[in-house]
Amino acid sequence: MSRFTQLEFGEEPGKKPSKDQGEAIRNERYFYQEAVKYWLNGDFEPALRNFSRTLEKNSSFYEGWLGQILMLIELEEYPEALIWADKALALYPEHPEILATKAIACVRDAKIDKALAYSDNAMSKENISSRVWLARAEVMMERRSRMAQDCISNAISIAGKALPVVRLEAGKLLRRRKNYSSALELLSQAAKELPQSALAWYELGCCQAGMRFREAEVAFEQALKIRPDWDLAQASLKKYQKRGLFRRLFGRG
- DSSP codes of every residue in 171-191: HHHHHHTT-HHHHHHHHHHHH
- Please state, in angstroms and rounded to a whole number, the distance separating the CA atoms of residues 134 and 150: 10
pLDDT of residue 169 exceeding 90, the answer is yes
- Please state, in angstroms and rounded to a whole number, the distance separating the CA atoms of residues 179 and 107: 18
Is the CB of residue 31 less than 8 Å from the CB of residue 63? no
Q: Please check whether residue 117 lies inside any domain of the structure.
A: yes
pLDDT of residue 162 exceeding 70, the answer is yes
Q: Please check whether residue 42 lies inside any domain of the structure.
A: yes
Count CB neighbours of 41 within 10 A.
22
Q: Please check whether residue 165 lies inside any domain of the structure.
A: yes
Residue 71 sits at φ, ψ, to 5 deg, of -70, -35
Can you spell out the DSSP letters for 106-164?
HHHTT-HHHHHHHHHHHHTSSS--HHHHHHHHHHHHHTT-THHHHHHHHHHHT-GGGHH
Is the CB of residue 161 less than 8 Å from the CB of residue 5? yes
pLDDT given for residue 159 in this prediction: 97
pLDDT given for residue 23 in this prediction: 52
Q: Please check whether residue 228 lies inside any domain of the structure.
A: no
Read off the pTM.
0.87
Q: Which pLDDT tens digit goes with each residue over 120-139?
A: 999 999 999 999 999 999 99
Domain range for 9 is: 3-194
- Please state, in angstroms and rounded to a whole number, the distance separating the CA atoms of residues 112 and 126: 24
Which residues have a Cβ under 8 Å from the Cβ of 141 and sit 6 or more positions away?
A: 148, 173, 177
Task: Check which CATH number belongs to the domain holding 118 and give it.
Answer: 1.25.40.10
pLDDT of residue 14 exceeding 70, the answer is no
Number of domains in the chain: 1
pLDDT given for residue 237 in this prediction: 97
Q: Please check whether residue 138 lies inside any domain of the structure.
A: yes
pLDDT given for residue 10 in this prediction: 35
Average pLDDT over residues 168-175: 98
Percentage of the residues of the chain whose pLDDT score is greater than 70 = 87
Segment (H or E) for 103: helix 96-108
pLDDT of residue 74 exceeding 80, the answer is yes
Confidence of residue 31 (pLDDT cuts 50, 70, 90): very high
Q: For residues 10-34, b (16+ Cβ closer than 10 Å) or e, as one string?
A: eeebeeeeeeeeeeeeebbbbbbbb
Q: Is 249 exposed, middle or buried (0-12, 13-18, 19+ CB in 10 A)?
A: exposed
Q: Please check whether residue 123 lies inside any domain of the structure.
A: yes
Q: Please check whether residue 112 lies inside any domain of the structure.
A: yes
Q: Please check whether residue 186 lies inside any domain of the structure.
A: yes
Among 1-10, 58-67, 198-207, 218-227, the least confident range = 1-10
